Amino acid sequence: MAKEQGITVKKDQDFSEWYTQVIIKSDLADYSPVSGCIIFKPSSYSLWEKIKEEADKRFKRLGIKNVYFPLLIPESLLKKESAHIKGFSPEVAWVTHAGDTKLEEKLAIRPTSETIMYEAFARWIRSWRDLPLRLNQFNNIIRWEFKHPVPFLRTREFLWNEGHTVFSTKEEAEKEKYQIINIYREILEDYMALPSLLGKKTDKEKFAGAEYTISFELYLPNGRAIQGPDFHHDGQIFAKAFNIKFLDKDGKVNYPYQNTWAITTRMIGVMVAIHSDDKGLVLPPKLAENKLVIIPILFDDTKQKVLKVTNEIYKKLEKFSPILDDREGYTPGWKFNEWELKGMPIRIEIGPRDLKEKSVTILRRDTLKKEKVKLSNLNKYIEKTLEDIQSNLYRKAEKLLKDNITAVDTLDKFKKAIDSKKIVFAPWCESVKCEESIKEKTSAKALNMPLKQPNIKGKKCVSCGKEAKLMLYFGKSY
């Protein structure tokens, strides 16, 4: 039975099949009858709840308030900002009928909420006293991707936060950039144990309708890069499209400056892909709803004694949200495999031999190492081990990222590095033509450019050979 439920392929041999098996067999998600739309099972939804909780309390500390806007957006509104609709039109799903009655105007199922929100902002904002306006909503999005869907990583419906803020001046708006970036960095690094490359997107790759986009880019073990949370400075683009104006302190009419920013459920898939192994899911303890499972080893003659101590341990470790697995009809070995598959950070085993030694046997999921621990030292040991697991997962992920970045100065080296499943760090002249040429010749797209640039004196563009203006990360991407 345990073999049937286990992972049947190796991560480094068939990543795609391995990833799918981990997602399904660890009970994170299931497929739905709608292609590209998955069912979030309790274990994955609890991960999203934790991400939401940590983001939400940090947003609120900044004075950002939560709202909810409608799911349906009139076509006329969506078309108001031409660059925006051009960027999203291939992905929009439309509602055209109510029952058998054709609607007078098509309604888009939101691919993002700028247009529906900014129509309201234009009515709400009149004076500098109405600013800043800092709102956020947690909701679902539909983007009808036509590429091959992958659970969490590329789905047609996903969950996210979308922040929408409005400021009197460009300086105020851009100051928010670092506040939001730091929030997302804390969630990625401190909770999800995920390092990333922070940088600015090229104009070609930025969010449709933004002046510029700042993104976190991550590296997956199959050699592909994937975009994480992002921040978009929209300048006055949407304000002008939606006629959002305000009277400043001098009595002059001005357009305000806007930002948008988001983190999505894609990050659950990224975390699974980076940390998990051939035995199944591996979860960072700070994100896991339950930090440990206690499994009693039961025999008829010692069953009551073992269960008594097991229940005492369960109560003592309450702050770690433990699970007591005393189910009958399953062998301890089967339970061990199941909890390893589900990524439980710590497993505690207790049997008659442990009772005599006044100890328990502990397995940590990240290394699969076992250790005997005295009952008197259990609480401190668990606390320290959870911290160790969290930092170990980050170190391993950081090594994976660093080991797979290659700096190059020629297109030949660029191609070899991409073929070797690396992220490439290369000099670029800032020409869109060169960016497109690189993608055409190597299948690698521009990821982002570090906010703090290294010295590029004397460096030549990897594509055209002209003087380079900056260094840019490239990679094959989801």
The three-class DSSP label of residue 164 is strand
How far, CA to CA in Å, does 42 sit from each of 211, 288, 289, 343? 38, 12, 10, 14
State the Cα–Cα distance between residues 81 and 63, nearest whole angstrom: 28
CA nearest to 263, candidates 359, 186, 150, 317: 186
Per-residue pLDDT tens listing for the chain (478 residues): 334 579 999 999 999 999 999 999 999 999 999 999 999 999 999 999 999 999 999 999 999 999 999 999 999 888 876 666 666 677 899 999 999 999 999 999 999 999 999 999 999 999 999 999 999 999 999 998 767 889 999 999 999 999 999 999 999 999 999 999 999 999 999 999 999 999 999 999 999 889 999 999 999 999 999 999 999 999 999 999 999 999 999 999 999 999 999 999 999 999 999 999 999 999 999 999 999 999 999 999 999 999 999 999 999 999 999 999 999 999 999 999 999 999 999 999 999 999 999 999 999 999 999 999 999 999 999 999 999 999 999 999 999 999 999 999 999 999 999 999 999 999 999 999 999 999 999 999 999 999 999 999 999 999 999 999 999 999 999 8
Q: Residue 172 in contact with residue 179, Cβ under 8 Å?
A: no
State the Cα–Cα distance between residues 234 and 165, nearest whole angstrom: 10
Tokens describing residue 72: 């349906």
Q: pTM to 2 decimals?
A: 0.95
